[in-house]
Amino acid sequence: MPAHTSSILKMLPANLPPLVVIIGPTAVGKTELSIQLAEKFNGEIVSADSRLFYRGLDIGTAKPTASERARVPHHLIDVANPDETWSLALFQQKANEIIAEILSRRKLPFLVGGTGQYIRAVTEGWTPPEVQPDPRLRAVLEALAAQNSVFWLHARLQIIDPVAADNIDARNVRRTIRALEVIFSTGRLFSAQRTATSSNYQQINIGLIRPRPELYERIDQRIEFMFQNGLLEEVQKLLSLGYSPELPSLSAIGYREAIGVLLGRITLDEAKTLIKRSTRIYVRRQANWFRENDPQIKWFMMTAGTDLTAGKYIQSRLENIDWKGQL
């Protein structure tokens, strides 16, 4: 065991329950590996991917299939309709409740995803800024976004609070507005108002990586697969059900571009190019949350045997955690 891992273990209370955290960029292979490891360790998976909350958004989010979910129980997938909002605070609450339930069944919880802030909210016990919504201020910000575009509003946030802007997708108008609302209401940077407490878990943090050219090739293949398997039809169905194309959930990468194709604003080839570009930007943003030099994360290069090496690492860590006896 690396020296830095041993030192971390000594700093943690011995009676905290374990939580396996699997992170990595989109398309790196988190879904299959997490299922393989959860099968091996009698575990259950808690999704920390904000795109997977919404029912009906399946193809464009590469949501685990029904057969994959049948292999291992999955949680926090398909928990909301596309026009409902799942805040970070609500996710944090539900995730902690579900992790406790998994542990109570003497099973091992796996927190899996690529949405950095959702992972951090659970593992670091974030306390979000306690700022009540200001309807008048929100109305002004929404009007500015409508008049000048979401990207214009995000650019203003980039000037005021670049740390917050770097961690918010420029197309996510809801989160951009919330950050500006907190800043203008308190006079303090949004990024400076998030507080963290000690973790409730002994974390076994596993990071997954691939060479960047290989990762980009997998992303391109996934995008082609999505269109071949009915992404446009999926989006058309959502619109036919009455869901507005302006919903935050439909601003996710892939959905906004598909809407553009359906409305005749862009061609299919243009949509694919835009999705590839946006996904590469998203990959770089994901890397901002979890650094490869972070001593608390054990990184694995994805190969045919990663399930075995990662499994051995989990087993070695579990041997240092006395958690069965406390349940």
Q: Which residue has the tokens 């949680």?
A: 75
pLDDT in tens, 58-93: 999 999 999 999 999 999 999 999 999 888 889 999
Cβ pair 16, 200 in contact under 8 A = yes
Q: Which of 57-71, 121-135, 142-156, 298-312 has the lowest mean pLDDT?
A: 121-135
Cα dihedral 238, 49, 292, 162, rounded to 10, equals 70
Q: Which of 139-143, 213-217, 223-227 has the lowest mean pLDDT?
A: 139-143
> Which pLDDT score, from 0 to 100, does residue 197 have?
62
Domain spans, the chain: 17-128+195-322, 135-192
Whole-angstrom Cα distance, residue 271 to residue 121?
33
Over residues 33-61, the mean pLDDT reads 96
Over residues 90-108, the mean pLDDT reads 95
Q: What residues does 202 pair with on adjacent strands?
A: 18
Split at pLDDT 50, 70, 90, the class of 131 is confident
The rounded mean pLDDT for the chain is 89
Over residues 270-297, the mean pLDDT reads 91
Indicate the class that CATH gives domain 135-192.
Answer: mainly alpha
> Which pLDDT score, from 0 to 100, does residue 55 have?
97
Cα dihedral 243, 115, 28, 82, rounded to 10, equals -10
DSSP string, 163-187: HHHHTS-TT-HHHHHHHHHHHHHHS
Whole-angstrom Cα distance, residue 227 to residue 269?
11
Split at pLDDT 50, 70, 90, the class of 54 is very high
> Which pLDDT score, from 0 to 100, does residue 132 have?
77
Q: How far is CA 110 from the centre of its chain?
A: 14
CATH architecture of 17-128+195-322: 3-Layer(aba) Sandwich (3.40)
Select from 240, 223, 181, 203 the least CA-distant residue to 61: 223
Residue partners of 255: CB distance under 8 A and separation at least 6: 57, 60, 235, 249
pLDDT in tens, 241-258: 999 998 989 999 999 999
Residue partners of 5: CB distance under 8 A and separation at least 6: 295, 298, 317
Whole-angstrom Cα distance, residue 280 to residue 215?
10
Split at pLDDT 50, 70, 90, the class of 324 is low
Cβ pair 37, 109 in contact under 8 A = no
Of residues 266 and 6, the one with the higher pLDDT is: 266
